[in-house]
Chains A and B, each alone.
Chain A
Amino acid sequence: MAAQHRTRAAPIATGNGGVDPQACYVYGIVPAGTPLPDRLQGVTDPSVPVELVGRGRVAAVVSTVPADRPLGTAADLRAHADVLDTLAAARNAVLPMRFGAVLRDTETVTEDLLDPYEEEFHDALQEIEGHAQFTVRCDYREDELLREILVDREDIARLRDDIAALSEEAGRYHRIRLGELVAGEVAARRDEDAAVLADCLAPHAAAIAPAEPGVAEQGFSAAFLVRDGARTEFEQAAEGLARRWAGRLRVRLLGPIAPYDFAARIAGTAEGDG
């Protein structure tokens, strides 16, 4: 509790001073009085303090950013995630904002964001309290996967052999066709394996959010909201799956991290309107 008010080395500006316009970056929403670890480093400038702006039972985690500089360098992305994940790792309830949430100033944060939605944020935070997100990413060992496909699909293997006899130019159409067939087969296997992942781990989680894979992605993933008391059994189940897939897939477990995949659903506001 003592750490809850950090000194304001650089007070967040009003945003309309012509020379050096500043704005207020919002990382996420936490319960009022959440202690902020000292080592949090803000987006765009690690020396700028990350602070709480509170209203009633909830508070926003914010820091000052220049209002005239585009966001999104690798360091910006990391800073955003680090602030949220550090809070989550310390077992604080936190509702992450999508990267790039910038308001005019702290007044706007309290008046336009916290005030009208205090009830909603409070309820969502209560729901998320005592849970953290774990994301499981499974990446195929590419050569292994392609071998599986060539062995199982004689038509693809035959096409591959045919192409070897053609000149590069003459084989172009065939190569596109070959790649298309392989891509389709990769997608089919990915869907099957993603279902296995969900089946194995969902029983140990409070909620699951499967990711929609892109066409050329090298694997699949799913996010799980795991109760603090169920972490060990969840981790054991993940380990069991990694053992089962050893040699075929690399299985990575990220977490505990902030509940990126669950915040919008739990807070209940229509997500993404475009």
Chain B
Amino acid sequence: MATATRAGPYLDRPTSSSLADVIDLILDKGLVIDAYVRVSLIGLELLTIDARVVVASVDTYLRFAEAVNRLDLTADGSRGLPELVQDGGAEHRSKGALEGAEENVTDAAGSRRGDAEDEEQPEERPRRRARPAARRREQE
């Protein structure tokens, strides 16, 4: 009975988490060891801490604008067109602003990169024991 409902037709239940999901889960969650132990801590450098910080910037806005502009809307943009509610097609189209952000994060976690995409990720820089949650709050 419990297993009968596990995989519904609408809900997506991946058998393993994607790297982006993993980053989301473990980088700024869980018990903070510093809160318990200070003296014996080994301060190993962490590579990816800032990878997920994608700040709002002119660049982000421009990517949104581009995404809106490439949208295939009928000229008058009137309400209730069947295409507007139709499912399918949209999912696998070219990368938009929103998906692009996730891709950058995944990328950044995979390897230590050069500055090829610095424009898109002004904040990405390996730091020692940074606190991404706090940093993110400051930036918003």
Is the A/B pair a real complex? yes
Given contacts A28-B30, A98-B33, A147-B84, contact A157 B98 (CB under 8 A): no
CA distance A255 to B64 in the complex (A): 32
Given contacts A143-B90, A246-B87, contact A163 B65 (CB under 8 A): yes
8 Å CB contacts to B: which residues of A17-35? 23, 26, 28-29
8 Å CB contacts to B: which residues of A44-90? 65, 67, 69-74, 77-78, 80-81, 84-85
CA distance A157 to B76 in the complex (A): 10
Of B42, B101, B129, which one neighbours A104 at CB under 8 angstroms? B42
Q: B31 in the interface, Cβ–Cβ < 8 Å?
A: yes
Question: By the criterion CB–CB under 8 Å, are A99 and B13 in contact?
Answer: no
Of A98, A251, A260, which one neighbours B11 at CB under 8 angstroms? A251
Question: By the criterion CB–CB under 8 Å, are B73 and A242 in contact?
Answer: no
8 Å CB contacts to A: which residues of B86-140? 86-87, 90-91, 93, 96-99, 101-102, 109-111, 126, 129, 131, 133-134, 136-137, 140
Residue of B nearest to A98 (CB): B30
Question: By the criterion CB–CB under 8 Å, are B77 and A216 in contact?
Answer: no
Given contacts A71-B47, A80-B26, A214-B136, contact A182 B5 (CB under 8 A): no
Question: By the criterion CB–CB under 8 Å, are B44 and A180 in contact?
Answer: no
Q: How many residues of A contact B (CB 8 A)?
A: 97
Question: By the criterion CB–CB under 8 Å, are B12 and A183 in contact?
Answer: no
CA distance A43 to B8 in the complex (A): 34
Given contacts A179-B61, A232-B5, contact A112 B56 (CB under 8 A): no
Of A142, A156, A243, A247, which one neighbours B67 at CB under 8 angstroms? A142
Question: By the criterion CB–CB under 8 Å, are A26 and B33 in contact?
Answer: yes
Q: A13 in the interface, Cβ–Cβ < 8 Å?
A: no
Question: By the criterion CB–CB under 8 Å, are A253 and B68 in contact?
Answer: no
> Would you give the 0/1 interface string for B25-46, flagging 1 where the beta carbon is closer than 8 Å to chain A?
1111111111111011110111
Question: By the criterion CB–CB under 8 Å, are A269 and B22 in contact?
Answer: no
11 contacts between A and B (CB under 8 A): A67-B44, A70-B47, A71-B47, A80-B26, A102-B41, A163-B69, A211-B24, A216-B55, A236-B8, A254-B25, A264-B32
Which 4 pairs, one residue from A and one from B, show the smallest C-beta to C-beta distance? Answer: A179-B61, A72-B47, A218-B98, A239-B8
Given contacts A77-B27, A99-B27, A135-B25, 6 further A-B contacts (CB under 8 A): A67-B42, A70-B45, A81-B17, A103-B37, A221-B24, A236-B8
Binding site for A on B (CB under 8 A): 1-2, 5-6, 8-14, 17, 19, 21-37, 39-42, 44-49, 52-56, 58, 60-69, 71, 73, 77, 79, 84-87, 90-91, 93, 96-99, 101-102, 109-111, 126, 129, 131, 133-134, 136-137, 140
Binding site for B on A (CB under 8 A): 15, 23, 26, 28-29, 65, 67, 69-74, 77-78, 80-81, 84-85, 95-104, 108, 112-113, 116-117, 135, 137, 139-144, 146-151, 156-157, 160, 163-164, 175-176, 178-180, 182-183, 186, 211-212, 214-219, 221, 231-232, 235-236, 238-239, 242-243, 246-247, 250-254, 257, 260-261, 263-264, 267, 269-274
